[in-house]
Amino acid sequence: MKKQFVALLIVALIAGGLFAQGSKETTKTSYTFGGSSTVAPIANTAIPAFEAENPSVAITYETLGSSVGIKQLQEGTLSLAGSSRELKQSELDAGLIPTTIALDGLSVAVNKDVGISNLTMAQLASIFAGDVTNWKEVGGANETIQLVVRDETSGTYGSFKEIVLDKAKKELSKNAIVAKENGEVATKIASTPGAIGYIGMAFGKIVTEAGGRVLTIEGVEPNAENVKDGKYPISRSLYMVSKGQLEGVGKQFVDFLLGTKGQAIVLDSGFIPLN
């Protein structure tokens, strides 16, 4: 009994010690940002850099998706929300203010056995509408097309639908693997024969490393120059959204993102800086 008591005491001490070590930092003020999973890589790199300059704050970024982020911002759970979609009129009316922090292209990526390197916008729309079901029909291998899409209410899903399918007046096929994050889309494309999907530009590397490829659209490669010039057709803006005017740490953080270092981080994370 005594021995066990001593053992328990030691464990408790270690735990206490670890907590105490952690709680040295309790003088810090904690903030929770969150939202779009596309903005997450920027936020997750920018936050440590920002904290290094402002040692009194501790920030976490929760990957929730644009819509939930915006909703939780309204509810007050988050103090700043990342969004990869435009705000709805109702959200703007509720006093939310978006600040553009970066541009992003949506890459279309395919599995390695597809045998295709380029698609036109019309072909892309037909594929995602389910009108074209075999790669043969667009000049590739004889292989059934497997669509990989994002969950319905993600910002990426919304942007892709708006830019590619709505313009072609087509409906997105429901016969598709649904993935929760950009990275999951990328890994599923990479591991499923015949797969095609859309991902934020930064995630292309996951696919190419696994042997898949990122397509050119109408012969244009998804890169920073082409998105800024407007040559690459599937692009969008990324926002940090605040409830009312930016103030306090939220403002400092957005200013940091828009500054030289912040925009370097944007570039480093695979997105396109504003300047």
Partner 1 sequence: MDIRSRKRIERGGRVILLASALVCVATVALITIFIFAQGIPTFRDVPLTEFLFSTNWSPSAADPHYGVLSFIVASFIVTGLSLLFATPISLATAVYLALFAKGRKAAILRESIELLSGIPSIIYGLFGIAVVVPFVRNVFGGNGYSLLSAALILAIMILPTIINISEVSISAVSPSLKEASVALGATTWQTISRVILPSARSGIVASLVMALGRAVGETTAVLLVGGNAPLFPKSPVSMGRTLTMNIVTDMSYAEGVHMSALFATAMLLFFFILALNLFVIHATHRREK
Partner 2 sequence: MNRKTTNAIALAVVRILSVTTIILLVAIIGYIAFRGIWKQTRVIRDVVPLSQEEKGFVISAPASNQLSDLSWFTLRNIAQGKIYSLRNLSGVDSPVTLYITDDVLPAFLSHMDLSKDKVVYQNRIPDHVERGGIVISSKKGKNLKKIPLYDEVLAVNPTVAALYGNNRIAMVEPIQWVHLQEGSVRSWKELGGPDMPVRNVSTLDEVESTEGSYLVVDAAQWQDAKDAGHAITSLQVVGIESGVNLTWDYMTEKTVESGKYGGIGTIIVNTFFMVMLTILFSLPIGVAAALWLCEYAKEGKMKSMIQSGIDILSALPSIIFGLFGLLVFVQLFHWGFSLISGTLTVSLMVLPTIIRTSQEAIASVDRSLSEASLALGATKIETILRVVLPSSKRGIITGMILAIGRAIGETAALIYTIGSGTDIAHSLTSSSRVLAMHIFLTITEGQSTDKAFASALVLIVLVLVINTVANRLIHTRRR
- What are the start-end ranges of the E strands in 115-227? 118-119, 146-150, 176-179, 195-200, 213-214, 216-217
Nearest partner of 176 among 189, 158, 187, judged by Cα: 189
Residues within window 103-122 making contact with partner 1, judged by CB under 8 A: none
- Supply the minimum distance, in Å, between the C-beta of residue 144 and partner 1: 8
- Supply the minimum distance, in Å, between the C-beta of residue 70 and partner 1: 8
Residue 1 interacts with, from partner 2, partner 1, none (CB under 5-8 Å by kind): partner 2
Q: Which range in 12-20, 65-73, 209-217, 222-230 contacts partner 1 by CB under 8 A?
A: 65-73
Query: Residue 64 interacts with partner 1 (CB under 8 A)?
Result: yes
Site pattern 192..221 for partner 1 (x: CB under 8 A): xxxx--------------------------
Q: Which range in 1-9, 127-135, 153-161, 214-222 contacts partner 1 by CB under 8 A?
A: 153-161
Residue 91 interacts with, from partner 2, partner 1, none (CB under 5-8 Å by kind): none
- Supply the minimum distance, in Å, between the C-beta of residue 89 and partner 2: 26
Site pattern 178..197 for partner 1 (x: CB under 8 A): xxx-------x--xxxxx--
Nearest partner of 119 among 106, 109, 133, judged by Cα: 109
Which tokens is 163 given?
């830019």
* C-alpha–C-alpha distance, residues 26 and 72, integer Å: 25
Which tokens is 125 given?
């729309």
Query: Residue 71 interacts with partner 1 (CB under 8 A)?
Result: yes
| Total residues at interface with partner 1 (CB under 8 A) | 26
Query: Exactly one of 81, 106, 114, 176 binds partner 1 (CB under 8 A); which one?
Result: 176
Residue 175 interacts with, from partner 1, partner 2, none (CB under 5-8 Å by kind): partner 1
- What are the start-end ranges of the E strands in the chain? 29-35, 57-63, 80-83, 96-110, 118-119, 146-150, 176-179, 195-200, 213-214, 216-217, 235-243
Counted residue by residue, the chain has a size of 275
Contact in structure between 153 and 65 (CB atoms under 8 Å): yes
* C-alpha–C-alpha distance, residues 191 and 10, integer Å: 47
Residues within window 131-150 making contact with partner 1, judged by CB under 8 A: 146
Which long-range contacts link 204-211 to residues 24+ away (Cβ below 8 Å)? 204/107, 204/109, 204/270, 205/270, 207/109, 210/112, 210/186, 211/111, 211/112
- Residues found near partner 1 in the complex (CB under 8 A): 64-68, 71, 146, 151-154, 157-158, 174-180, 188, 191-195
